[in-house]
A and B are shown apart, each in its own frame.
Chain A
């Protein structure tokens, strides 16, 4: 049985490596079974999700590739004052990411490791429930979206998010951009923003930027509604945890510990 699991892991690992080389979405679904790619609904519809392999991630503690590429392609401003920080994907110590899922006898390397965190694109998102203007909503493919032109900046969503995944533009963001990517909108001060699961890239059949940027293949993206997708194949074979599962938000980001 152990051997079976190992063999499976090797295959899954190879699969994850494979996806880092190929950036088009059809490989995320299951080309063999036909549907699953963009525009062609998979049998269960589309529900984008991500699996983060902490074992692969911790190889390289100082690595910030996913964070940097995300900031670059999404014009995420960099403020020196930590109070005003804007974070889409960032790293926190393991106990902060999983406050209820740690104990003092755990492997010290794990407790000390930095875990990449981002918007969980919850299946039952509290931020969407509380927004008074429908400026944030959940798409049918599971992506939790933001309309930066409608947001009134009441920050109710920030109070409601159990993962601290939302940031507010306390000051002018455009002045805090080193390079501006004309391909993605900048924001104005006074609105909330967060990870958008790279919906602008999904629309072009591309993987999220963080997934393609990870040199260790730690991030796997795919359709949770398709049993043959790489994310489902990993989840079927390995024990994965989600952040604060008891709250019933059903995060679509899974962590392999």
Chain B
């Protein structure tokens, strides 16, 4: 099947070449980071997790969101999702791979990563995160491989794959729940220590993931013969709508608890996010942009007349993806460290090498999605004629 990835027109190869260049630049800076140390990033003694771990958190959500097409199709027999389940699963494979890459890149001693296996520590949530993430990767690799193989041979998938697919549904929930537990179990970080973190993570995942899938489907429709049908896109849009509303609701609940209880150690983090603290306003414009985009997208999505128009739907989906990326990929992780447990504010801004390395991991993910989608479409004979 992989041979299909090596045939393509100029446009295909230009895109692949572009991604490879980005990955090359990132690899160069990663070698520098290996030589110099993580001091090459903007992280510090006080803000000890930054951009890398934030991207990891955001992408766990993208990975988990595959369940939003798999669940309706396999449990509720929503037939229109038949053509896009494998696309969702391919996003999951690519996103989990990016997650693992970000974890490794963030390690001070990556060559010792296997110590997590050699000295397993079930009391550490990272141990469980390693298990659920790798398990989810394996599940989705098997599922996509087997279902696509069956499709190519024009036969029904083997019966044994169904329980595997059913297992992948709660497993998807688990990856984002366990990832939330990494944060929400820390008494040292009041900003993260909230029971709503896991539900909030899931809500933002189930809005940003399907929104991304809609955008990818529309790109495929434009450049290939692939067509999942407008009904499938609209159903996905409905999923995004409900998830965005749930996410807004959860954020407001968090804000109420922090603002009304008026406990400084909870309040200060939100103040840093939305108003700035001690003269530090790094995140403020981003967070208000995110808030605006979420509300604007929600308005578009809950208005059936707008949601049904492609232009508005595209705008809403871009808005949702960008807003959730800001929320998780910029705000969530850093704000846990600001102010520090000693109530000091330390400025964190990612450095150029840090951003270049991050971009290269996203390029890797884009490369994987491109190759996987090309394989899927060529198996179905839906590539551009």
Q: Are A152 and B112 in contact (CB under 8 A)?
A: yes
B115 touches A133 (CB 8 A): yes
Once the chains bind, are A164 and B340 in contact (CB under 8 Å)? Answer: yes
Please encode chain B, from 236 to 280, with 1 for each CB lying within 8 Å of some chain A CB and 0 for all others.
Answer: 000000000000000000000000000001000000000000000
Q: Is B119 an interface residue (CB 8 A)?
A: yes
A144-168 CB mask vs B (1 if < 8 Å, else 0) is: 0000001111111011111110011
A85 touches B45 (CB 8 A): yes
Q: Are A153 and B188 in contact (CB under 8 A)?
A: no
Does A238 lie at the interface of the complex (its beta carbon under 8 Å from any beta carbon of B)? no
Interface size class of B (residues with CB under 8 A): 35 or more
Across-interface contacts of A126 in B (CB, < 8 A):
186-188
Chain A contributes a number of interface residues (CB within 8 A of B) equal to 50
A87 contacts chain B at the CB level, 8 A cutoff: yes
State which of B42, B125, B344, B346 has its C-beta within 8 Å of the C-beta of A96: B344
Contact flags A232-257 to B (C-beta < 8 A → 1, else 0) = 00000000000010011100000000
Which A residues touch B127, using CB under 8 A? Answer: 132
A190 engages B38 (CB within 8 Å): yes
What is the predominant secondary structure among interface residues of chain A facing chain B? Answer: loop
- Contact of B116 with A by CB under 8 A: yes
Q: Are B188's CB and A160's CB within 8 A?
A: yes
Contact A190 B341 (CB under 8 A): no
How far is B125's CA from A132's CA once the two chains are assembled, in angstroms?
A: 8
> With an 8 A cutoff between CB atoms, is B107 at the interface?
yes
Cβ contact within 8 Å between A154 and B106: yes
Residue among A83, A85, A87, A161 with the highest chain B CB neighbour number at 10 A: A83
Residue from A130, A151, A155, A247 in contact with B48 in the complex, judged by beta carbons closer than 8 Å: A155
List the B side residues contacting A150 at CB < 8 Å: 112, 115, 119
Number of A-B contacts (CB under 8 A): 146
Interface residues of B in 95-124 (CB under 8 A from A): 103, 106-110, 112-113, 115-116, 118-119, 121, 123-124
Instruction: Please determine whether A96 and B107 come into contact, CB atoms closer than 8 angstroms.
Output: no
Flag the segment in A19-27, A49-57, A169-177, A203-211 that touches B.
A169-177
| Across-interface contacts of B121 in A (CB, < 8 A) | 131-134
Distance between Cα atoms of A153 and B124 in the complex (Å): 14
Give Cα distance in the complex from A65 to B148, angstroms: 69
The answer, yes or no, to whether B343 is at the interface (CB within 8 Å) is yes
Which of chain A's residues have a CB closer than 8 A to the CB of B381?
Answer: none
Instruction: Tell me if B43 is interfacial: C-beta within 8 Å of chain A.
Output: yes
Distance to closest chain A CB from B129 (angstroms): 9
Residue among B39, B126, B337 making CB contact with A154, cutoff 8 Å: B126
Which residue of A155, A168, A248 contacts B187 across the interface (Cβ within 8 Å)? A248
Asked if B49 and A97 sit within 8 Å, CB to CB, the answer is no
Identify which of A96, A152, A153, A167 contacts B45 (C-beta below 8 A): A167
A190–B337 Cα distance when bound, in Å, is 19
What are 22 sample pairs from A and B whose C-beta atoms fall under 8 A apart? A83-B346, A84-B45, A132-B116, A133-B115, A133-B116, A135-B115, A150-B119, A152-B108, A152-B113, A155-B49, A155-B108, A156-B124, A158-B45, A160-B186, A162-B341, A168-B45, A168-B48, A170-B44, A188-B109, A189-B38, A190-B108, A192-B108
Q: With A133-B116, A135-B119 given, can you name 16 additional A-B contacts, CB distance below 8 Å?
A: A81-B39, A83-B43, A84-B39, A87-B45, A96-B344, A153-B109, A153-B112, A158-B48, A159-B183, A164-B45, A168-B38, A168-B45, A168-B108, A189-B108, A244-B341, A247-B188
Which positions in A face B, CB cutoff 8 Å?
81-87, 92, 95-97, 99-100, 126, 129-135, 150-156, 158-164, 167-172, 188-192, 244, 247-249
4 closest Cβ pairs, A-B complex:
A153-B108, A190-B108, A83-B44, A170-B39
